[in-house]
């Protein structure tokens, strides 16, 4: 199971309603009020290396691809 999409199993479990209910009960992610799990990349869903500055909310890998389009300029 990946953190990006815990509902991937639903395609298999749609044929087993009781097992699906059990899966939802024990495997659904808890509702968070704070923490790094809230700060996911809006582009790819990655948790690490998150850039909050300027309200970007993207990871460093996506920033590297989008930076020029956003108006950032590399000086070195
Ligand atoms: Zn990303």
Q: In CATH, what number is assigned to the domain containing residue 40?
A: 4.10.830.10
Structural domain range at position 61: 36-76
pLDDT at 3: 57
Tell me: do 19 and 50 sit in the same domain: no
Q: Look up tokens 């815990």; give the residue.
A: 6
Tell me: do 49 and 76 sit in the same domain: yes
Q: How many domains does the chain have?
A: 2
pLDDT at 74: 87
| Residue of 16, 15, 22, 50 lying closest to 35 (CA atoms) | 50
Tell me: do 21 and 40 sit in the same domain: no
* pLDDT (tens digit per residue) in 10-69: 888 999 999 999 999 998 888 889 988 888 899 988 888 999 999 899 999 999 999 999
In this prediction the pTM is: 0.61
* d(CA 10, ligand 1 centre) in Å: 25
CA-to-CA distance for 17 and 3, rounded, in angstroms? 23
As residues whose CB is below 5 A from the ion ligand 1, the structure lists 41, 43-44, 46, 59, 62
């Amino acid at each position: 199971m990946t953190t990006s999409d815990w509902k991937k199993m639903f395609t298999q479990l749609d044929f087993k309603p009781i097992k699906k209910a059990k899966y939802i009960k024990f495997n659904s992610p808890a509702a968070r009020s704070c923490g790094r799990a809230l700060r996911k990349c809006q582009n790819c869903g990655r948790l690490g290396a998150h850039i909050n500055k300027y309200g970007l909310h993207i990871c460093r890998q996506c920033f590297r691809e989008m930076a020029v389009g956003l108006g950032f300029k590399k000086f070195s």
